[in-house]
């Protein structure tokens, strides 16, 4: 499959033109080649985009919900009609398999469709009065929203922010990650072709420290919705605190997967492999800490290692590839650093732990399982964001709940057992925004998603996802026609 890249122009304030900022180079890490170099956004571009967004937003916010929804439906259709191209661009940009990038593009289309439907069907509240008045609780747009996204599933993260923010009546400025700058240009083209009023949506690729920071600090930005690493999220939250600006933070994870002796082992092995090694482990919700009950530990881990060794590592455009290249050679170096650290701390590699043979040009790394680690080791505490699983035994429920929760993150958890009551008990006891029971990494746009602790603040998706981009106003209207009895005058 072959397509061309766009001309690298940015959509800034309703105009397609070259950015005036520093050059950005997109790499095809699976082959170690360059995709494209183009100019990112400059300070001047950011200012221009913000000014256009401010000018365009009031009219957009004043449209009836069904009128705004009609644009989102068109965007959804535009994405659906371009899935092959979007998937190709994103696979070249991130080295993800085409199967995955097609699924991400389809999910982005579904996200726009969903939030159009939510918008059209969201009622406002007439609240119960305690006097002779009526009270309305209504929702209004915030104004100009900045969306800052990471490289690991760009079109899906972009859609999860842009769709509800536009639906809610805001203007949106999207800053993608510098390692995946291309697919947002495709999204911008589709949004523009859907006829969205000029200026409402701009794409501003550029470095996080410059373009990202500018957006967060800017007085005209009413909210930042961020997905990315925890240290970046904390930095943005500090700036936001100073401005008293709302932020949504979708951050990292170190999610526990818990395997009880009474599980269906085939189901568990398949789910664990998918949970950690799909997307080459570059997933915030990767099930990266595996706890296996001691009574089945040796046998289960042996089976898991055998299954891991059978995974097909290969080129992202090969249909049978399960584990593709990492996004960038620098990222592989970071993953390798973590594995080396685990070995220094006494860890033992059961499989992987090295680059695969015969794929030397790309940033590939073998699916890796490390045992003999302690839950307090850095490899068990920090997010590796690569195909690396640590495995530890546990004795009983209390033991595994304590170990699962002994981590600053709280994003996701997997539980494998045939005892449904026990699964529900553990699900409630574990600190996590999402818990999967006898499955892993399943998503529905209707179901809220987000993290606790160092995994973030706020929730995306679901009907309430729209509310994250609105402010709430209460309106009281007197129905008595009588002056307030407190105020007396002659």
Residue of 303, 356, 19 lying closest to 175 (CA atoms) = 19
> Quick check: 362 and 29 in contact, CB under 8 A?
yes
Could you say which of 15, 70, 122, 207 contacts ligand NAP (CB under 6 A)?
207
In DSSP notation, 122-151 reads ---EEEPPSSSEEEEEEEEE-SEEEEE--S
Report the length, in residues, of the chain.
490
Could you say which of 74, 92, 102, 175 contacts ligand NAP (CB under 6 A)?
175
Is position 251 an interface residue for ligand NAP (rule: CB under 6 A)? yes
Our CB check for ligand NAP shows the closer of 139 and 235 to be 235
Using CA atoms, how far residue 127 sits from 118, 131, 479, 480, in Å, is: 21, 12, 14, 17
Tell me the closest approach of the beta carbon of residue 119 to ligand NAP, in angstroms: 22
> In terms of DSSP H, where are the helices of 310-352?
329-344
Residue of 205, 177, 157, 154 lying closest to 8 (CA atoms) = 205
217 is catalytic: no
Is position 252 an interface residue for ligand NAP (rule: CB under 6 A)? yes
Tell me the closest approach of the beta carbon of residue 412 to ligand NAP, in angstroms: 9
Is position 229 an interface residue for ligand NAP (rule: CB under 6 A)? yes
263 is catalytic: no
CA 155/CA 86 separation, integer angstroms: 8
Could you say which of 178, 255, 368, 470 contacts ligand NAP (CB under 6 A)?
178
Binding pattern for the stretch 373-402 against ligand NAP, x by CB under 6 A and - elsewhere: ----------x-x-----------------
Could you say which of 21, 141, 143, 150 contacts ligand NAP (CB under 6 A)?
150
Tell me the closest approach of the beta carbon of residue 363 to ligand NAP, in angstroms: 14
Tell me the closest approach of the beta carbon of residue 230 to ligand NAP, in angstroms: 6
Binding pattern for the stretch 438-457 against ligand NAP, x by CB under 6 A and - elsewhere: -------------x----x-
Q: Which residues pair with 289 in a beta bridge?
A: 256, 390
The active-site residue, picked from 184, 263, 284, 380, is: 284
Residues with Cβ < 8 Å from 177, sequence gap 6 or more?
A: 149, 150, 151, 154, 208, 228
CA 133/CA 304 separation, integer angstroms: 65
For 330-398, list the strands marked E by DSSP. 348-351, 368-371, 388-394
Is position 314 an interface residue for ligand NAP (rule: CB under 6 A)? no
Our CB check for ligand NAP shows the closer of 154 and 169 to be 154
Question: Which one of 82-90, 231-239, 350-358, 370-378 is the stretch in contact with ligand NAP (CB under 6 A)?
Answer: 231-239
The secondary element (H helix, E strand) that includes residue 293 is strand 289-293
> Quick check: 174 and 203 in contact, CB under 8 A?
yes
CA 123/CA 181 separation, integer angstroms: 37
Is position 228 an interface residue for ligand NAP (rule: CB under 6 A)? yes
CA 456/CA 464 separation, integer angstroms: 17
Our CB check for ligand NAP shows the closer of 334 and 376 to be 334
The active-site residue, picked from 250, 366, 383, 460, is: 250
Is position 38 an interface residue for ligand NAP (rule: CB under 6 A)? no
Provide the binding-site residues for ligand NAP, judged by CB under 6 A: 148-152, 175-179, 207-209, 212-213, 216, 227-229, 232, 235-236, 250-253, 284, 383, 385, 411, 451, 456
Q: Which residues are catalytic?
A: 250, 284
């Amino acid at each position: 499959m072959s397509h061309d890249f766009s001309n690298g122009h940015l959509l800034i304030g309703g105009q397609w033109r070259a950015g005036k900022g520093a050059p950005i180079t997109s790499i095809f890490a699976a082959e170690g080649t360059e995709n494209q170099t183009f100019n990112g956004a400059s300070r001047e571009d950011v200012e221009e985009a913000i000014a256009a967004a401010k000018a365009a937003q009031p009219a957009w916010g004043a449209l009836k919900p069904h009128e705004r929804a009609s644009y989102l439906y068109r965007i959804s259709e535009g994405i659906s009609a371009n899935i092959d191209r979007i998937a190709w661009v994103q696979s070249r940009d991130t080295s993800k398999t085409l199967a995955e990038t097609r699924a991400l593009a389809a999910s982005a289309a579904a996200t726009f469709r969903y939030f159009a439907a939510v918008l059209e069907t969201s009622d406002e509240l007439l609240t119960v009065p305690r006097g002779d008045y009526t009270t309305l609780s209504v929702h209004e747009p915030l104004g100009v929203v900045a969306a800052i996204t990471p490289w690991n599933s760009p079109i899906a993260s972009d859609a999860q922010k842009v769709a509800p923010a536009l639906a809610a009546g805001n203007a949106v400025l999207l800053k993608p990650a510098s390692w995946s700058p291309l697919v947002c240009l495709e999204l911008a083209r589709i949004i523009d072709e859907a006829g969205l009023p000029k200026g409402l949506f701009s794409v501003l690729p550029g470095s996080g420290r410059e373009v990202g920071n500018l957006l967060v600090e800017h007085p005209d930005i009413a909210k930042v919705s961020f997905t990315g690493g925890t240290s970046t999220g904390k930095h943005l939250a500090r700036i936001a605190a100073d401005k008293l600006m709302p932020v949504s933070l979708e951050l990292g994870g170190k999610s526990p997967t818990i395997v009880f002796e009474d599980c269906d082992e085939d189901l568990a092995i398949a789910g664990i492999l998918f949970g950690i090694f799909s997307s080459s482990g570059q997933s915030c919700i990767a099930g990266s800490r595996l706890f296996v009950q001691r009574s089945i530990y040796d046998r289960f881990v042996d089976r898991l290692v055998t299954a891991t060794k059978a995974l097909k590592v290969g080129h992202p455009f090969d249909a049978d590839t399960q584990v593709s290249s990492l996004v960038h050679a620098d990222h592989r170096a970071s993953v390798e650093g973590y594995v080396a650290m685990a070995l220094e701390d006494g860890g033992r590699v059961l499989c992987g732990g090295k680059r695969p043979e015969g794929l030397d040009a790309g940033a590939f790394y073998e699916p890796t399982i490390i045992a003999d680690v302690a839950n307090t080791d850095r490899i068990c505490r920090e997010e590796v964001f690569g195909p690396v699983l640590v495995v530890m035994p546990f004795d009983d429920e209390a033991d595994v709940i304590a170990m699962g929760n002994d981590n600053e993150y709280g994003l996701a958890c997997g539980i494998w057992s045939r005892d449904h009551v026990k699964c529900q008990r553990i699900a409630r006891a574990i600190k996590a925004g999402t818990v999967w029971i006898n499955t892993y990494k399943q998503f529905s746009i209707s179901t809220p998603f987000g993290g606790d602790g160092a995994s973030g603040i706020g929730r995306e998706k679901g009907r309430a996802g729209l509310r994250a981009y609105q402010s709430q106003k209460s309106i009281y209207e007197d129905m008595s026609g009588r002056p307030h009895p407190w105020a007396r005058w002659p």
